[in-house]
A and B are shown apart, each in its own frame.
Chain A
Amino acid sequence: MGLLSLLRRLKKSGGEARILILGLDNAGKTTILRKLSEEDITTTTPTQGFNIKSILHNGFKLNVWDIGGQKTIRPYWRNYYENTEALIYVVDAADRKRVDEAGFELAEILGEDKLATVPLLVFANKSDLITALSADDVAESLSLFNIKDRPWQIQACSAKKGDGLEEGLQWVVKQVK
């Protein structure tokens, strides 16, 4: 189960859609992307740029962009907002010290004109760790309940184990017109 089978069930033909994955460094963005294609995740290293997956099915092209989350790279995020149809924001739910930082960056992103009204999925990742915050707590910390200008959803997941990824992705794909 992954992106390809999701796309096969979508019965779309023709066209193109762009999904953008953002989040702090070490949140698990690349691991999620790799896991969604059943790829080996043990060799994942910090992304120093972008990783793109383009999947073609029935003439419909899905492009998923994962941009590095290190502090030095974040100023470049804005270069990748255009034409985004869904945003996935990944939070390390077990890194309690950085949840505020994650919330600050998300608020910045949601204030961008180019991403106005773009549907948002938040993955509360690493939920398998006992120190992890619940999805509700993450939603609270990120002030998701105040979002009024777009559809949003939060999904607890473990990128490492694969739990919750499919549920989240299904929601995202439904938002893509």
Chain B
Amino acid sequence: MNMRDAETGEMMWEKHAWPSAWRSEEVEARIPADVMNRAAVSREMTFSSAAAIDDFRLRQRVYLGEHCIEEWDFDFGFVIPGSVNTWQTTIESAGEGAMLDPTQISGLVCIETSFLDGDVVFNKSVVRVYYEQYD
């Protein structure tokens, strides 16, 4: 997974290796608080599949505490056996003044991603986001 400034392409955060328990346990992501100052940010996931999948879908929900603040439903359809694939979503910020304070929401944001074949959820990952200040 990675995050970029969607206007400049600058890589802001990148994580290649995930703990082996990512399927069953919540994992942490420590992201620079500066992402909240950018006008548009992209989030990219890379995933591979050994087997073909007929009707692959992702349901992604971003929660702030109990509230869902962002929703992505994506139908990929067919996934090629032995493939490596990427999916990048770009969203724009709510604008100055409407943005949340990263120090206040650090640790309260969760990205929940469900992996489905048709209507069957075969995997779910939860990433809890911590915003960190760097000088």
A50 x B72 contact (CB < 8 A) = no
Is the beta-carbon distance between B78 and A80 smaller than 8 angstroms? yes
Taking the closest CB of chain A, its distance from the CB of B121, in whole angstroms, is 20
List chain A residues, Cβ under 8 A from B6: 4, 37, 55
Instruction: Report whether B77 and A51 are in contact in the complex, using a CB–CB cutoff of 8 Å.
Output: no
Contact B89 A73 (CB under 8 A): no
Q: Are B83 and A49 touching (Cβ within 8 A)?
A: yes
Residues in chain A within 8 A of chain B (CB atoms): 4-5, 34, 37-40, 47-57, 68, 73, 76, 79-80, 82
Asked if B106 is at the interface of the complex by the 8 Å CB criterion, the answer is no
Are A55's CB and B90's CB within 8 A? yes
**In whole angstroms, what is the CA distance A102 to B86 when docked?**
25
Distance (Å) between the CB of B50 and the closest chain A CB?
12
Please, which residues of chain B bring their CB within 8 A of the CB of A5?
7
Q: Which residues of B contact A34 (CB under 8 A)?
A: 9
| Closest chain A residue to B47, Cβ basis | A49
Min Cβ gap B90→A in Å is 4
A37-B9, A50-B80, A52-B76 known; 16 new pairs, CB 8 Å cut-off, are A4-B40, A4-B90, A4-B92, A38-B8, A39-B4, A49-B49, A49-B79, A49-B80, A50-B83, A52-B87, A54-B72, A54-B87, A54-B89, A55-B90, A56-B90, A79-B80
**Nearest chain A residue, comparing its CB with the CB of B10:** A38
Find out whether the CB atom of B86 lies under 8 angstroms from the CB atom of A52: yes
Closest 8 CB pairs of A and B: A49-B83, A38-B9, A79-B78, A49-B85, A39-B9, A48-B84, A55-B90, A51-B86
Given known contacts A37-B42, A82-B77, is B9 in contact with A53 (CB within 8 Å)?
no
Q: Which of B7, B77, B79, B90 contacts A53 (CB 8 A)?
A: B90
Q: What's the least CB distance linking B95 to chain A, in Å?
A: 13
Complex contacts, B92 vs chain A, CB 8 Å: 4, 56-57
- List, in ascending order, chain B residues with CB within 8 A of A37's CB: 4, 6, 9, 42, 88, 90
A48 touches B82 (CB 8 A): yes
Given A56-B92, A80-B77, A82-B77, CB of A38 within 8 Å of CB of B7: yes
Q: List the A side residues contacting B108 at CB < 8 Å.
A: none
By a CB distance below 8 angstroms, the chain A residues around B86 are 50-52
- 22 pairs of residues in contact across A and B, judged by CB atoms under 8 Å: A4-B6, A34-B9, A38-B9, A39-B4, A40-B9, A40-B11, A48-B84, A49-B83, A49-B84, A50-B76, A54-B72, A54-B74, A55-B6, A55-B89, A56-B90, A56-B92, A57-B92, A76-B78, A76-B80, A79-B80, A80-B78, A82-B77
B91 on the A face (CB < 8 A): yes
Give bound CA distance, A56 to B72, whole Å: 10
Question: CB-CB < 8 A to A56: which residues of B?
Answer: 89-92
